[in-house]
């Protein structure tokens, strides 16, 4: 099974098993990692914002326009920021490393 690493804001790391087909948000929740996901992965908030390690960023599928719109609301946005609900684990991402931002901003967008 693929593995991935979460880096907490204080720098501590946690290596976890990351089942293929699950999102980084789902993997975090299974591993009891504090990644909010207020909209439960429906791409309506930015609370599952993660900062992808530069070595992995270009290996991800590009962000959609909807994801980029939500990222604009994220606290501490970086050049390698993504939403955890939009990164789906695969064997190609075995070893993926993401950092949790120091804070989140819950500014949901009403998608009618």
* Residue 104 located in a structural domain: no
Mean pLDDT of the chain: 92
Against a cut of 0.85, is the pTM above it? yes
Is 100 a residue whose pLDDT tops 70? yes
Residue 50 token pair? 């993660």
Q: Where are the alpha helices (DSSP H) in 32-93?
A: 54-57, 65-71
Q: Is residue 108 part of a domain?
A: no
Beta bridge partners of 49: 83
Domain encompassing residue 53: 3-99
Residues 6-35 pLDDT 10s: 999 999 999 999 999 999 999 999 999 999
CB 10 within 8 A of CB 102: no
Q: Specify if 111 maps to a domain.
A: no
Residue 109 resides in a domain: no
CATH of the domain at 44: 3.10.20.30
Q: What is the domain count for the chain?
A: 1
For 62, half-sphere exposure in the C-beta direction (CA atoms, 13 angstrom radius) is 2
């Amino acid at each position: 099974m693929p593995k991935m690493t979460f880096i907490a804001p204080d720098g501590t790391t946690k290596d976890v098993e990351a089942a293929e087909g699950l999102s980084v948000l789902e993997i975090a929740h299974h591993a009891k990692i504090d990644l909010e996901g207020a909209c439960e992965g429906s791409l309506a908030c930015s609370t599952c914002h993660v900062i992808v390690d530069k070595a992995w960023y270009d290996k991800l599928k590009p962000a959609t326009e909807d994801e980029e719109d939500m990222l604009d609301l994220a606290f501490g946005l970086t050049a390698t920021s993504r939403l955890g609900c939009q990164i789906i684990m695969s064997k190609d991402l075995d070893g993926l490393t993401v950092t949790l931002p120091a804070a989140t901003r819950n500014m949901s967008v009403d998608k009618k």
